[in-house]
Amino acid sequence: MATVVDAALCEGCGSCEAVCPADPNCYEIVDDKAVVVHPESCIECGECVEVCPVEAITLQ
């Protein structure tokens, strides 16, 4: 699976970055949008999907 952020929906709140337990963290906020910068570290826990207030993140 891959973590996908819909940039059109993302508001850059940083909730996904804050909750991600992966090391290194999967996310960084770039230009006010969440970007998956370390997809290889994703453990597919779904925490980011659950915490996103605008449902911009999916596991595909």
pLDDT in tens, 4-55: 999 999 999 999 999 999 999 999 999 999 999 999 999 999 999 999 999 9
Q: Are 20 and 59 in contact (CB under 8 A)?
A: no
Q: What is the CATH number of the domain that holds 15?
A: 3.30.70.20
What pLDDT was estimated at residue 60? 93
What is the C-alpha to C-alpha distance for residues 34 and 18, in angstroms, rounded to an integer? 11
Domain containing 48 equals 3-59
What pLDDT was estimated at residue 48? 98
Count how many domains the chain has.
Answer: 1
Which residue, among 26, 47, 48, has the nearest Cα to 38 in the 3D structure?
26
